[in-house]
Amino acid sequence: MNTVLYFQSKSKTSAPEKLAGVREILDKKRMHVQVIEELPTRNLLAELASFWQPVGAIVDCGGEYNELDVSIFARMKTVFFGHNPDTLPRTCLQVIHDQAATARLAARALLETGFNAFAFVHYQERRAWSEARRKAFCDALRLNGMKCSVFRPTETSAGGVRRMNALRRFLESLPKPCAVFAANDKTGEQVLSAARMSGLDVPNDIAVIGVDNFEPICEHTTPPLSSVEPDFRLGGETAALMLLTAAMSKGRFRGSRIQTFGPLHIVRRASSRLLRRNDQHVADAIDLIRREACCGLRSSRVAALFPCSRRMADIRFAKATGHSILAEIHAVQLDRAKQLLKNNNMPLKAISDFCGFVNSNSLRKFFRKETGMSMSRWRASIKAVAR
């Protein structure tokens, strides 16, 4: 069986979906994907090549792989996934995240909050992708007549305690309310921690969106972190297809040597779900939903809190929050289901009772529709990335 070497960074933020995309394509060709979670060296690569006689390699260049010596792959057909394109020879095959598209999507979502103040928080270390997201985010705001404050990584704030203290001072100095785009979910987690230590209300003082939708982070912050989810699976599929094309081409590779993948959508959680403070009926509705969404609450009961028709109640609610009453109920139910799924001792059939569903089949259909996967698969994926 033909083999492809897949070098994977120990950073697991996006690893499962990338690898799933690679396997989706290569499995159809009955090719084996050998995963190596070790920084490739010249000697290691030579030994692996001798052992497997691979068709080629895909290198996921996250984390420590950013400083990889790519020259060691000169004799092997290779696709570099997520490497800084400015540091690679033009002859290299690359798949990169469309940072600008992701930043623009975040900008649109944060502009919809109605806030007039915005900020971008860089990753704690200098990274090309963080700078690309900052530039595109600031450009999008400038296009809409808005300015953006920026928290940059510096020598004095790179360390944990120093960075958090500097970040606290930065958040406290911002005009309120302020919408914050964090470079990634790890950065978003730091923003939320700093906001909490400074006594800032999230999302009413500071609304926050990160990038990656890495659920072990996003689902465990206080409050849960909204995040742009890149289409990592598409990125993996693209890398596999590029490698197959390169392997089949006898001469020069035809087509673009740099392929991109963009954002899939924004997963909205409590860190950016806000409402207009001047609508007390909406505030009361939100409070009721957060208390009783998982107790069989119906949207008609929520709409009854408004001194108007049910249709007008939904319009007022959507104007204040950006989505319908039913969507808010579903969001709370989905959050609860995910929390319960993390408990491996709780049977799937029992979870529906704690989420306000009539039976387990209703929850299963709802969960698959909202997440694109079954409850058991989601539970397995969370367990895998947490290892």
Q: What is the CATH number of the domain that holds 254?
A: 3.40.50.2300
pTM metric for this prediction: 0.74
Domain that holds residue 319: 280-385
The strand order across the sheet containing 3-7 reads 32-36, 3-7, 56-60, 78-81, 93-97, 258-261
Q: What is the CATH number of the domain that holds 314?
A: 1.10.10.60
Q: In terms of domains, do 103 and 218 share one?
A: yes
Q: In terms of domains, do 103 and 223 share one?
A: yes
Could you tell me if residue 275 is inside a domain?
A: no
339 HSE (CA, 13 A, CB side): 13
Q: In terms of domains, do 80 and 111 share one?
A: no
Q: In terms of domains, do 109 and 197 share one?
A: yes
Radius of gyration of the chain (CA): 23
Could you tell me if residue 219 is inside a domain?
A: yes
Q: In terms of domains, do 243 and 210 share one?
A: no
**CA nearest 123: which of 83, 182, 192?**
182
Could you tell me if residue 103 is inside a domain?
A: yes
What one-character DSSP code corresponds to residue 111? H
Q: In terms of domains, do 223 and 103 share one?
A: yes
Q: In terms of domains, do 377 and 298 share one?
A: yes
Contacts 24+ apart (CB under 8 A), 372-380: 375/337, 375/341, 375/348, 375/351, 376/348, 378/338, 378/341, 379/341, 379/342, 379/344, 379/348
Q: In terms of domains, do 143 and 61 share one?
A: no
Helix/strand/coil percentages in the chain, nearest 5: 50, 15, 35
Per-residue confidence in pLDDT tens, the chain, 387 aa:
899 999 987 766 667 788 999 999 999 999 999 999 888 889 999 999 999 999 999 998 776 556 678 889 988 999 998 877 777 887 889 999 999 999 999 999 999 888 999 999 999 988 889 999 999 999 999 999 999 999 987 654 555 888 999 999 999 999 999 999 999 999 999 999 999 999 999 998 999 999 999 888 998 888 889 999 999 999 999 999 999 998 887 667 777 888 999 998 888 888 987 655 556 788 788 878 988 898 889 999 999 999 999 999 999 888 877 789 999 999 888 888 887 887 667 787 778 888 888 888 989 999 998 888 888 888 887 666 555
Residue 93, φ and ψ in degrees, nearest 5: -90, 130
Which pLDDT score, from 0 to 100, does residue 14 have? 65
* Helix runs in 79-158, H state only: 99-111, 128-143
Q: In terms of domains, do 214 and 107 share one?
A: yes
Q: In terms of domains, do 90 and 116 share one?
A: no
Tokens of 75: 């004799």
Question: Considering its fold, how many domains does the chain have in total?
Answer: 3
Residue 97 to residue 231: CA distance in whole angstroms: 9
Residue type, 44: L
Tokens of 47: 């030994």
